[in-house]
Amino acid sequence: MSQIFCVVASLWLLVAGASFQQSSPPQSAPTPAPGAALEANPADVASPDGIIAATYQVISGPAGQTRDWNRMRSLFHPSARLIRTGAQEGGGMTATSFTLEEYIERASGYFMKNGFWEKETARRAEQWGNIFEAFSTYESRHDAKDAAPFARGINSFQLFFDGKRWWVLTIFWQEETPNNPLPAEFLPHGK
């Protein structure tokens, strides 16, 4: 009986593994080994301004355009997290944390179907030693030429300088809602 169970279990694992491989979305480039960092463009990681600008650039583009995920991987520390906040059904808020690879997997499908252009419109930042914290106000559009954004909010960037380059450690974001509008101090002057 135990031999039959082992054979059935082995066949199930083989079929399940084949199904999983067939349903996995194609990646634009091979995923590096866990903990491995890709070589970055020096201009992208030389300053907080450079790494934040590169992050917005890499996620922006028209529908169907594969993003340069290896460029994004080169910006993020191997242990980095991306944390999305959102309203829960029935009230309250929730936070969902992703590894960079989990974010890439989820965002790739959305970007294949939807144009997405995000840009920074204002920033409040602090630095001490090798740590940098920025509240980066963003606007999101489906097309770069859209007159009005479909969403606004704050990306909270936590950056780390290792003595040679900057790394994104965390991006923690919240979208503006009618009940929680962006306050004036986080908006561009005059808006």
Answer for the pair 98, 106: CB distance below 8 angstroms, yes or no.
Answer: yes
pLDDT of residue 90: 87
Domains in the chain: boundaries: 39-177
Q: Which of 70, 99, 186, 170 is nearest to 138 (CA)?
A: 186
Q: Which two tokens stand for residue 126?
A: 């602090």
Q: Which residue has 């028209």 as its token pair?
A: 62
pLDDT of residue 23: 37
- The CATH number of the structural domain formed by 39-177 is 3.10.450.50
pLDDT value at residue 189: 80
CA atoms within 13 A on the CB side of 165: 18
- Kindly give the confidence (pLDDT) of every residue in the chain, 191 residues in length, as a single tens digit, with 9 standing for 90 and above: 444 333 333 333 333 333 333 333 434 445 555 555 689 999 999 999 999 999 999 999 999 999 999 999 999 999 999 999 998 888 899 999 999 999 999 999 999 999 999 999 999 999 999 999 999 999 999 999 999 999 999 999 999 999 999 999 999 999 999 989 999 999 998 55
**CA-to-CA separations, 181 to 38, 61, 135, 151, in angstroms, rounded:** 38, 26, 15, 11
